[in-house]
Amino acid sequence: MTEYFYEDLKVGDKIVTRTRYITGSEIEIITALTGITNPLFQDAEEARRRGFEGKITPGAVISAYAFGLEYQTGIYDNIIALVEVDEMRFKAPLKHGDPLRSELEVIYKRETSRPERGLVVFQRRCYVREKMIMEAKLKFLYLRRTGGASD
């Protein structure tokens, strides 16, 4: 697995995760544990009445799955902090049983006043097959490999 520090990331770099099928059983367990009780997530008939093909996945859970897939690439092994999640947009539902993958693109980076860290902004795009279902901007503080030399 690749190790990513601030200096290793360049604007335009893309990190693509593996694809993972999200099962209905998992979604039901997560919504029950977190108290996310909207009928869209728990009742197929009610979801159909509201215009969906069946039960769908809460947006917060989609984001959590995306983070899990991204962590498996090693991209977050040298972060100091998640600073901000911004402009999160959901474009289509994630249905029970759908294959999910995430792509991160480095869209901005800059040094900070502290020489051991740097700021990196990613554009996240989540897909079911080839259809983008969610996007967001993620801002992280990363450790620097060199402790502050210019990259």
pLDDT at 3: 86
For 49-66, b where at least 16 C-beta lie within 10 A, e where not — what string?
eeeeeebbbbbebbbebb
d(Cα 62, Cα 71) in Å, to the nearest integer? Answer: 14
Query: What's the CA gap between 102 and 84, in Å, rounded?
Result: 18
pLDDT in tens, 69-79: 999 999 999 99
Q: Please tell me the pTM assigned to this model.
A: 0.90
Q: What is the pLDDT of residue 1?
A: 67
Q: For position 8, what pLDDT does the model report?
A: 95
E strand or H helix at 67:
helix 59-71
Residue 44 sits at the vertex; the CA angle it makes with 40 and 50, to the nearest 5 degrees, is 50
- Between 3.10.129.10, 3.40.50.300, 3.30.230.70, 3.40.630.20, what CATH number should domain 6-143 receive? 3.10.129.10
Question: From the first residue on, what is the mean pLDDT of each consecutive set of 10 residues in the chain (151 residues)?
Answer: 90 98 91 90 93 93 96 97 97 95 98 96 98 98 78 48
Residue 149 has a pLDDT of 52
Rg, C-alpha atoms of the chain: 17
Phi, psi of 89 (to 5 degrees): -130, 135
What letter does residue 95 receive in the DSSP assignment? B
- Domain regions of the chain by residue span: 6-143
Helix (H) / strand (E) containing 48? helix 44-49
pLDDT for residue 148: 57
The pLDDT tens digits for 78-93 are: 999 999 999 999 999 9
